[in-house]
Structure 1
Amino acid sequence: MRHLKSARMLATALLSLGSLVLAWGFPEARAQSFQTSAPTAILMDAGSHAVLYEKNADELTAPASMAKTMTAEVVFNEVKNGRLTLDSTFTVSENAWRKGGASSGGSSMFAQVHSTIRLEDLLRGLIVQSGNDAAIVLAEGIAGTEENFAHLMNERARAIGLTKSTFRNATGYGHPEQKATVRDLAKLAIHIIETYPDLYKYFGEREFTWNKIRQQNRNPLLSMDIGADGLKTGNIDEAGYGLIGSAVQNGQRLIVVVNGLKNARERANESRKLLDWGFRAFESRELFAQGQVVGEAQVYGGSKRSLPLVSLKPVRVLVPRGDGERVTARIIYTGPLKAPVRKGTEVARLQVNRGEMQALEMPLYAGEDIQEGTLSQRALDGLLEFGTGWVRRAFSSLVERI
């Protein structure tokens, strides 16, 4: 009994090392005054993935044609992995022609039934013209049916970290189960920009002509002098008007997503207002340098009982200019980690909050190798596990910085 009590005391002492609080005397924070009429909205910095503004960002709504951005990601992934090329050809089925062609009443690239079209042209029809026929042709050509393609969309969505959104078709047509959040759509935009820089260019094309019909890109930001170069609009009755937008100024890229606006004009105005405010009102602040030790994680059964955690790139957050808003960084991991642990292994996540809002989340990696401990070290850790169940605990380490 005495040994068990000692083990618990030692465990408590070790666990206390996992909660480190550093304070630098934070000035009083001031509330954000920005407002938007968009029912759901988010503004993100693409470089740091920091959230600058959000409003109902995790509310599920119909994405309308913004779902075609997920359709494009699946196609881009096929090209990147060599299963398709831009010269691959697809045949326009009667289903695609009837359901997505001009007679359907929706947006169309005016593809002719039974014709054969190159993948690159279908991508332009999908992205620039928002062609429902192009979306269906691509879905059927890749997966056999649009329903099968929707399964691929959801697989890819989960693989790239879209945790809440569900896709049921390639076009964005209304479906009771097809819902997305503006946060997920912003993550999708950043993923496409970072992963497919050579294919992302199609989102910035102003117009595309097919079947002798010239159509303008529906993204209103592209015609504004604000550095916009993508991505996609959407509109169906159940969701209102939405937009995923991206713009670059002075080397900084911002992503805006809005949904639920009353009309196209309000969608354009609110999207631009968010971008203008983001470029004007924020400055970058470095919390940790690249490779700097951010904190420590506890280790079980190793030659050492703690492991330094580092980021592979600088940890920066955008904060309001001249504001003393509180910035906190929390290390999240499940542990203690079981030895051995190799240097460079992702073992934790760093969550950075600006005030009450999560501004950034990024991986943390083992800063050194931790070998398996000696028999006596492992025996002691085994006793601690038996006495406290600490291996199954979830730990967090809190670091506060300004």
Structure 2
Amino acid sequence: MTMAGCIREGASARHEARKGPSHWLRLAIGASLAFAVTLSSVAAQSFQSAAPYAVLLDSASGTVLYEKAADELMAPASMAKVATALVAFQEIAQGRLTLDSEISISENAWRKGGGVSGGSTMFAQLNSRVKLSDILHGIIVQSGNDASIALAEAVAGDEATFARIMTERMRGLGLPKSVFRNATGMGDPQQRVTAREMALLADHIIKTYPEHYRIFGEREFTWNKIRQQNRNPLLTMDIGADGLKTGNIDESGYGLVGSAVQNGQRLIVVVNGLKTGRERANEARKLLEWGFRAFEARRIFEAGEIVGEASVFGGEKGRVGLKAKGPVSLLLPRGSSERLNARIVYRGPLTAPLQEGTEVARLLVTRGEVKTLDIPLYTAESIQTGTLQSRALDALLEAATGWVRKAMGRS
């Protein structure tokens, strides 16, 4: 379920109070949830990035620690190859390709992406056949355009069709904005992504394909007797970085999707639009170091705990409890005193019958201008269809509510 068209917010939120060693979390009843967070210190730490586009995401909790123009469209340059790699990983998982599958290097791939093109290349030989395992190293470590185009042709017949598959796979992950027009990240006015979606794509790959993700952390790769270094500057900084991908073309500036782990905590960073490679490296590093230093985890719901309720139409009950798949935690700034606002959003009323465990809503939490958390919520129990009398009453109530919404200019 996408957020577009979700028209009911927090129909009922269960009141909850908790006391910890140094803070209270309070969930208020009403049109939205509200977390009031008070810690021992008075001033919240802040961070400002020079990157025109930036996101910092905690992988475990899904908390967004920092964002700047995170949902604005931008040119991805070679960061698009993260999505190219995703399609390959999915093809392997579905049995249509193996790491030993041989990929042909066509004249088109060689001319557009090989050494004669002047762009980043694997230096694959014309009309050669290269194992997919090596093609993936060429795409990920060497940023080879020839390898990317060859993969696209092997999977889809041509690059344009492959780019449509890339876009469709993003939609399948619930990422609605990013659009791809090629497998390489070469400039195209219609090829655009957002920083937030690139961070979520990286998080998906890390969690779903760990056996392939390790390629993103390899420092170098040699093909055709030409050794090339991984372009990701974070890998040499001794900050726990293990991926992912850089990008740079004239219309994008310098960008990077990166990830690092310290003390068991994984952060994912995206920056784009910077003027130089050094500035890109410095901003990504500063964001990661700040994220590891400046935040601490706080549990706000235990596994199985009811987060709120949603209205049900035509059921044996008029409301159903909502819960997350597991415990819900946030990362909050150390030594801060600030208010978090949250709301439950769903398309409603829900219609009976409902099965337990059905995704029907989302919990959205914001910290100032930052959308800190956006996770799905599921029905906590099954709701069967109600009696004819109760359904008739629900219909009258919904009609009355609809008239009120119409009078107030709401849909």
Q: TM-score by structure 2 length?
A: 0.88
Equivalent of 1:88 in 81, 84, 101? 101
Q: Which residue in the other structure is 1:19 paired with?
A: 30
Letter in 1 for 2:229: Q
Aligned to 2:134: 121
Aligned-partner Cα distance in 1 for 2:34–2:121 = 57
Aligned residue in 2 for 1:108: 121
Deviations 1:275-314 (A, max 9, x none): 0000000001111111101011111111111111111111
- Please say if residues 12 and 308 of structure 2, whose CA atoms lie closer than 8 Å, have aligned partners that are also in contact: no
Is this contact kept in 2: 1:319–1:354, CA < 8 A? no
Shift of the 25–362 alpha-carbon distance from structure 1 to 2, 3 Å rule, reads: closer
From 211, 215, 222, the counterpart of 2:235: 222
Distance 1:91 1:279 in 2: 43
CA distance in 2, matches of 1:386, 1:242: 51
| Residue 373 (structure 2) aligned to one of 355, 360, 363 | 360
1:21–1:124: structure 2 CA closer, same or farther, 3 Å change rule?
A: closer
- For 1:162, the equivalent position in structure 2 comes to 175
One-letter amino acid of the structure 2 residue matched with residue 322 of structure 1:
G
Asked whether 1:65 is paired with 2:78, we answer yes
1:179 aligns with 2:192: yes
- What SS does the corresponding residue of 2:176 show, helix, strand or coil? coil
1:184: how far off?
1.2
The Cα offsets for residues 64-92 of structure 1, whole Å up to 9 and x where unpaired, read as 10011110011111111111111111111
Deviation at 1:201, TM superposition (A): 0.9
- 1:256 corresponding residue in structure 2: 269
2:49 alignment partner in structure 1: 36
- Deviates most, 130-139 or 17-26: 17-26
Partner of 1:303: 316
Q: Secondary structure at the match of 1:199?
A: helix
Q: Which residue of 2 aligns with 1:342?
A: 355
Q: Distance in 1 between matches of 2:178 and 2:314?
A: 40
Following TM superposition, by how much is the alpha carbon of 1:51 offset from its aligned partner in structure 2, in angstroms?
A: 0.7
1:328 aligns with 341
| Contact 1:289 1:315 survives alignment (8 Å) | yes
Give per-residue Cα distances to partners, 1:229-254, cap 9 Å, x unaligned: 00000011121110000000111100
Structure 1, unmatched stretches of 5+, are 1-14, 394-402
State which of 92, 98, 104 in structure 2 corresponds to 1:79.
92
- Of the three residues 256, 280, 286, the one matched with 1:267 is 280
Separation in structure 1 between the aligned mates of residue 247 and residue 35 of structure 2, nearest angstrom: 45
The alignment covers a number of residue pairs equal to: 380
Equivalent position of 1:149 in the other structure: 162
For residues 264 and 186 of structure 2, the distance between their equivalents in structure 1, rounded to whole angstroms, comes to: 36
Offset of 1:386 from its aligned partner?
Answer: 3.4
Q: TM-score, normalised by structure 1?
A: 0.90
Does the aligned pair in 2 maintain the 1:384–1:390 contact within 8 Å? no
Distance 2:37 2:166 in 1: 44
Equivalent residue, structure 1, for 2:16: none
Q: CA RMSD in A?
A: 2.1
> Which AA in structure 1 matches 2:195?
V
**Amino acid paired to 1:312:** K
Per the TM alignment, residue 39 of structure 1 is displaced from its structure 2 partner at its CA by 1.2
What amino acid is the match of 1:194?
K
Partner SS state of residue 221, structure 2: strand
Identity between Structure 1 and Structure 2 (%): 65
- Structure 2 equivalent of residue 6 of structure 1: none
Superposed counterparts of 1:180-195, under 5 Å = 180-195=193-208
Note the residue ranges of structure 2 that are not aligned, 5 or more in a row.
1-10, 14-28, 407-411
User: How far apart are residue 35 of structure 1 and its match?
Assistant: 1.4
Structure 2: how far apart are the matches of 1:236 and 1:33? Answer: 31
CA distance in 2, matches of 1:90, 1:392: 58
**Conservation of the 8 A alpha-carbon contact between 1:332 and 1:348:** yes
How far residue 391 of structure 1 moved from its aligned partner, in angstroms, is 12
Q: Which residue of 2 aligns with 1:198?
A: 211
In the alignment, residue 97 of structure 1 is paired with which amino acid?
Answer: W
- The 1:26/1:280 distance shift into structure 2, 3 A limit, reads closer
Which contiguous aligned blocks of 4+ residues in structure 1 show a shift greater than 4 angstroms? 15-18, 20-32, 390-393
1:313 and 1:390, CA in 2 relative to 1: closer, same or farther beyond 3 A? Answer: farther
Native 8 Å contact 1:111 1:133 kept in 2: yes
1:33 CA displacement: 2.8
Q: 1:366 to 1:329 in 2, by over 3 A?
A: same
